[in-house]
Chain A
Amino acid sequence: MAISATVRRGRWRLLSVGVVATLALSACGSSGSGSSSGAKKITFWYSTSAQNQGYTDLAKDFLAKTGVTVEIVNIPNDGYQDKLKQAAQANSLPDAASVPSLDNIWVNQLQDLSSITNNAENKINKTFVTEKDGKVLTIPSDVTAAGLFINKSLFDKAKVTYPTDPTKTWTWDEFLAAADKVRTATKAKYDLVYDNSPARIRAWIYTHGGKGFQLSGDKFAAPDATTVQELTDFAKLNNDVIMPKSVWTSGADPNALFKSGQVVAYFSGVWQVADFADGITNFEWASAPTPAQPVHATDINLGGKVVAFTNGDKASAAKQWVDFLFQRDNYTKLAEANGYLPIEQGLSLTYPFKKQVALDSFALYTKEMELADPISASGQANQATLLLDGKATSEDPTKAEMAKLINGQQDTQKTVDNIVSGLNAGL
């Protein structure tokens, strides 16, 4: 049995490499907690998929001004909420962050930011800030709005006009008729693709005059009859002629479908503008005013929610950083660099978009938000209220229930009942 000594040594070598590597790894990590040298460095978590220079540039300015380094960490969106939860359980929350939504586990570790919102210089739009007991625990970094995009090339080819002024917007019936005309004239495939999202369907409901799913007391109430009717109508539109079924029943990507150039219009929101500006090169697109029938509304949602945690001696530096972010000049820079719709009022922003159509689009969204009915912001307000009350919120079941509705598995009443009970599941 002449197993060479080299082979035998090789085995031990391999094993010892593994053991040493693991020990080294455990030493490698777990540095950098609680250095009590008075906060020369704070961490700021956020999540973006674009090359956002906004925060990084401001961090440089902040360092120059205060000598405190801000470490900006980009966390993937998928799993960000989980990561915050686990970090809270490990006492390793960041010092400040822009989070997708608040979480009960750490909501009591947030600093009060009311001094920033109450600062008259900042002119922060208070409709988007939820107060609790006089305290403000989070300030949105930006607001987003749902809106309509059209394939301009197809409209031009079919010689159909569309409104450009939101004060003279069209109704859904008019829009659908126009889209139909464009489709038949240009032999496109679909009239419209609609984002598969509970927030977007809120816009449909509100613009038709429905009230959607609102809180009544501390639970969600059953929606009004208009809402039920509107959802039924929406389901009927998913007939593979006007709208493709696959988006709402099996998660087909409406963004990709619109980019194929075979769809006349796409109902999504302002976050697509930057993507379209670079990503659509084979046809011309444009933003069109949201149809109103009869209510002029949309769904207004919040971008990242900026928070500052009470992390011992880093807390004051973290609060300073958040304060710095919302100072008027700094916030202007941030909103311009990152392509945000601003939460502060009266700013004059010049976005760095090279394409005129993108600039026009942003101008349109700004106007739309001014005209939008206040119910537009109620969706996110409900969520915020519940979280601040310490309730465990569940994920909105609208997507799953609407999928079943459009797939013909259940009627609208059952869908609506399931949505309400799902929303109330954790309460």
Chain B
Amino acid sequence: MVDSDQRPGPTPSAAAERPAEPAKTRRRGRRRNRYIATPLLLISANLVLFATFFVWPAAIGLAYSFTSYTGVGPAPFVGMENYLHLFQDDQFYAAVVRTLIYTGCAVPMIFVASLGVAYLLISPYAKGKPVARAIFFIPWLISPIIAGVIWRWIFGENFGLANFIITEFGGKAVPWQSNANLSLVVVLIATTWGNTAFNMLIFTAALKNVPTAYYEAAELDGAGAWQKFRRITLPAIAPTSFIVVLLTTLNSMKEYPLFKAINGGGPGNENNLVVQYIYNTGFRRAQIGYASAASFVLMLILLVIAGMQLMVNRRMESGQQ
């Protein structure tokens, strides 16, 4: 991760000051690593919380994954059996594939929607922003069970609004719920609708941070709106874009409540994602050990994905230099 700023800044005075520092530098070793106490103190809160509320429970969970624990009684050690069983289960692979498809569609949709909405809400040209702001925000507050009712009302196969309109115009009712792919489309729409506000907030803060001086300079050069967006805005918010993509990816891979509310993971189990698989084969069957094993395999997959995104990001950042 690169932690230095890319932009030019006024440095002549600072550069002149540096020769006055060599005494301190020599005493504390290499210039860049001279601070240890401060960063340690700064991260101390999160470090303690991380150790207590993540590492400790995760370690317990990892221990369970090597047993056939059922939630009560002893936890007999079974070694790698849970993992082997997992890798031989077709349903697991099906769930992983489905999750990847869902994530692959959801992330671009959410990214474009939230960046677009944030950009419009920052722009001085759009009228009536306060009301629009509230309208875009509310979907994020709605709980999955209510979202399920709303989207079933709109895309319900039997009495839904969409089919009502379609049949009124003479078409045939669309199997929004009995067709696995159409059902996935409905969930994608619902997740974009619900998750726009969250990422929009993050983008808003980042967009506000782009110096107006850049826009003014481009304006003088005669740049149009789209060019300004592509060449100034996008690069300027690149760090934020990266984090939005990464977090949206991780959250989409763990999606479960929205599917449960809108199509129950169906039809059948064609829209079961990984977390639902973990629930169905693990927790609901009192197979805590198996559920833990599957969870750690999911974590491994997410680490790989995050790693890949980090590598791509590093390459893009160094390519800008």
Contact = CB atoms under 8 A, between A and B. Distances in A.
Check whether chain A touches chain B (CB < 8 angstroms): yes
Interface string A243-283: 01110011111000100101000000000000000000000
A403 interface: yes
B75 to A, nearest CB: 12
A73 B82 CA distance: 39
Nearest to A408: B268
Contacts of B178: 240, 245-246, 249-250, 407
A406 interface: yes
A252 B152 contact: yes
Contacts of A257: 158-159
Nearest to B267: A249
B28 interface: no
A85 B71 CA distance: 9
A422 interface: yes
A404 B285 contact: no
A425 B286 contact: yes
Per DSSP, chain A at the interface is loop
Per DSSP, chain B at the interface is loop
Interface string B254-291: 00000010011111111000000000100011110000
B267 A104 contact: no
Contacts of A422: 285
Interface in A372-427: 392-395, 397, 400, 403-404, 406-409, 422, 425-426
A246 B286 contact: no
A265 B267 CA distance: 23
Contacts, number: 91
A246 B178 CA distance: 6
B70 interface: yes
Given A257-B158, A260-B159, A400-B280, A407 B267 contact: yes
B177 interface: yes
A249 B268 contact: yes
B191 interface: no
Nearest to B268: A407
B264 A403 contact: yes
A252 B156 contact: yes
A251 B70 contact: no
A189 interface: yes
B263 A250 contact: yes
A105 interface: yes
Contacts of A404: 268-269
Nearest to A245: B178
B159 A262 contact: yes
Contacts of B177: 245-246, 249-250, 252
B216 to A, nearest CB: 26
A342 B260 CA distance: 34
B49 interface: no
A274 B300 CA distance: 49
Contact of A409 (B263, B264, B269, B286): B269
A250 B266 contact: yes
Contacts of B270: 407, 409
A248 to B, nearest CB: 9
Interface in B117-167: 152, 156-159
Contacts of B265: 250
B158 A392 contact: no
Given A392-B71, A392-B72, A407 B266 contact: yes
B158 A244 contact: yes
B265 to A, nearest CB: 8
Contacts of B72: 104-105, 392
A237 to B, nearest CB: 15
A306 B72 CA distance: 22
B264 A250 contact: yes
A403 B284 contact: no
Contacts of B268: 249, 403-404, 406-409
A393 B287 CA distance: 10
A235 to B, nearest CB: 12
B199 interface: no
B285 A395 contact: yes
Residue from the set B152, B268, B285 with the largest chain A CB neighbour count within 10 Å: B268
B140 to A, nearest CB: 21
A249 B156 CA distance: 13
List the 5 closest pairs (A to B, CB-CB), nearest first: A251-B264, A407-B268, A250-B266, A249-B267, A394-B285
13 contacts: A104-B72, A249-B178, A249-B266, A250-B178, A262-B159, A394-B287, A403-B268, A404-B268, A406-B268, A407-B270, A409-B268, A422-B285, A425-B285
Interface of A: 85, 104-105, 189-190, 240, 244-246, 249-253, 257, 260, 262, 392-395, 397, 400, 403-404, 406-409, 422, 425-426
Given A395-B285, A403-B267, A404-B268, 7 more contacts: A189-B158, A244-B158, A246-B157, A249-B267, A250-B266, A252-B152, A407-B268
